[in-house]
């Protein structure tokens, strides 16, 4: 895992909302730019800090290696002098609870800044407009993580783990969608596809059994996610559509449940073992479940296996 720092004041909104970083391949005069070349060095799983307006406002994980791509149309007039072709790297961004102002901690950061192509001035701590994507050594990357944890977002390490899980989940989803192409009957294939996405008949059946989020108490079903208890890819077709094999959960709770960070005991109490899960719940102000009631025998058959896979 490598650490990167992107200076993108002109395009921070477009890039963080769009899930990427993009740069031309060369300067306007055709000369190579080391900070543009750095996009070709990014690898999936690398950490990227988003810096704009003097603040680190988001942290991201690289999802794909660089590809040649046209200048994003959403840039509009930003970078009019940039060429129309460049490098694009997909990044899964997570906004921080509070932004971190690096200049506040300049005395700590200064000794670790790179001598060449530093993302901020080594003398003033202000952003270096001539550098787009800067490589950070491990010591500086880890120091920034610690500063963010202490002063901006206590759950930053949880964010990184969840972002990593999301990358794997996206890959699993693609594999599952491709596997469904082998189902010969179109109506069955459609039902199973919707079940994989938490929609259709599966969602209706889950809502009949679990109409609200047990943890948050939210009853507005348009805001809830229908999550399989037993992973979809491990189910037979009957289990994939079973209402007992699902819960309606608030999106942030679904992320933890789907990745086995949290589970429920047979009486309906929320359980977890990994400290990262406890940290996330504390940051969200969650001490336990909002609605405590036991699960049915059929639900418990699915949940017992889910508990066994709980992260430790």
pLDDT at site 279:
86
pLDDT for the residue 16: 96
Phi, psi of 91 (to 5 degrees): -135, 130
pLDDT digits (tens, 9 = 90+) for 32-44: 999 999 999 999 9
In this predicted model, what pLDDT tens digit does every residue of 115-139 receive, in sequence order?
Answer: 899 999 999 999 998 899 999 998 8
Is there a contact between 244 and 299 (Cβ–Cβ < 8 Å)?
Answer: yes
Q: Percent of the chain, pLDDT > 70?
A: 87
Q: Residue 130's closest CA among 28, 41, 60?
A: 28
Between 86 and 180, where is the model more confident? 86
Give Cα separations from 95 to 45, 52, 92, 119, 220 (angstroms).
17, 13, 10, 20, 25
pLDDT digits (tens, 9 = 90+) for 46-69: 999 999 999 999 999 999 999 999
Q: Which pLDDT belongs to residue 296?
A: 92
CB contact burial 69-107 (16+ within 10 A = b; e otherwise): eebbeebeeebeebeeebbbbbbbbbebeebbbbeebbe
Instruction: For the full predicted model, state whether its pTM sits above 0.75.
Output: no
| pLDDT of 166 strictly over 60 | no
pLDDT value at residue 8: 97
Residues 227 and 255: their CA atoms lie apart, in Å, by 9
Q: How far apart are CA 189 and CA 217, in angstroms?
A: 33
> Average pLDDT of 291-295?
85
What size, in residues, is the chain? Answer: 312
Please calculate the CA angle 35-126-105 and round it to the nearest 5 degrees: 110
The H or E element containing residue 140 is helix 138-151
3-class DSSP state for residue 27? coil
Contact 128, 32 (CB under 8 A): no
What DSSP string describes 56-112? EEEEEEE-S--EEEEPPGGGTTTTTTS-SEEEEEEEEEEEEEEEE-GGGGHHHHGGG
Torsion of CA 131, 133, 139, 140, to 10 degrees: 50
The β-bridge partners of 134 are: 5
Q: Which domains does the chain have, with CATH numbers?
A: 3-158 (3.10.590.10), 186-308 (no CATH)
Enter the DSSP assignment of 144: H
The per-residue pLDDT of the chain, averaged, comes to 87
Q: What is the pLDDT of residue 153?
A: 85
pLDDT of residue 262: 94
Each residue's pLDDT tens digit, 254-285: 989 988 999 999 889 999 998 888 888 888 88
Higher pLDDT, 237 or 254: 254
Check residue 196 and give its pLDDT. Answer: 60
First to last CA, the chain: 23
């Amino acid at each position: 895992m490598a650490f990167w720092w992107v200076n993108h004041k002109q395009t921070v909104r477009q890039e963080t909302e769009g899930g990427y970083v993009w740069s031309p391949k060369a300067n306007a005069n055709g000369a190579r730019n080391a900070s543009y070349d750095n996009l070709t060095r990014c690898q999936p799983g690398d950490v990227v800090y988003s810096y704009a307006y003097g603040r680190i406002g988001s942290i991201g994980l690289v999802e794909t290696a660089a590809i040649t791509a046209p200048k994003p149309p959403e840039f509009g007039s930003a970078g009019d002098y940039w060429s129309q072709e460049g490098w694009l790297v997909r990044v899964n961004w997570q906004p921080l609870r509070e932004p971190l102002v690096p200049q506040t901690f300049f005395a700590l950061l200064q000794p670790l800044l790179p001598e060449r192509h530093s993302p901020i001035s080594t003398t003033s701590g202000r952003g270096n407009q001539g550098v787009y994507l800067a490589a950070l050594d491990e010591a500086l990357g880890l120091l920034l993580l610690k500063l963010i944890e202490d002063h901006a977002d206590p759950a930053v390490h949880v964010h990184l783990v969840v972002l990593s899980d999301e990358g794997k989940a996206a890959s699993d989803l693609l594999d599952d969608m491709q596997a469904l192409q082998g189902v010969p009957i179109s109506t069955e294939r459609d039902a199973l596809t919707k079940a994989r996405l938490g929609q259709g008949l599966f969602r209706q059946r889950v809502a009949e059994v679990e109409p609200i989020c047990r943890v948050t108490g939210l009853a507005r079903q348009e805001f809830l996610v229908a999550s399989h208890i037993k992973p979809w890819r491990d189910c037979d077709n009957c289990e994939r559509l079973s209402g007992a094999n699902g819960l309606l959960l608030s999106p942030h709770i679904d992320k933890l449940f789907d990745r086995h960070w949290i589970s429920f005991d047979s009486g309906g109490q929320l359980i977890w073992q990994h400290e990262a899960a406890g940290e996330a719940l504390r940051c969200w102000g969650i001490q336990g479940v909002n609605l405590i009631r036991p699960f049915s025998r059929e639900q418990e058959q699915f949940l017992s296996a889910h508990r066994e896979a709980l992260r430790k």
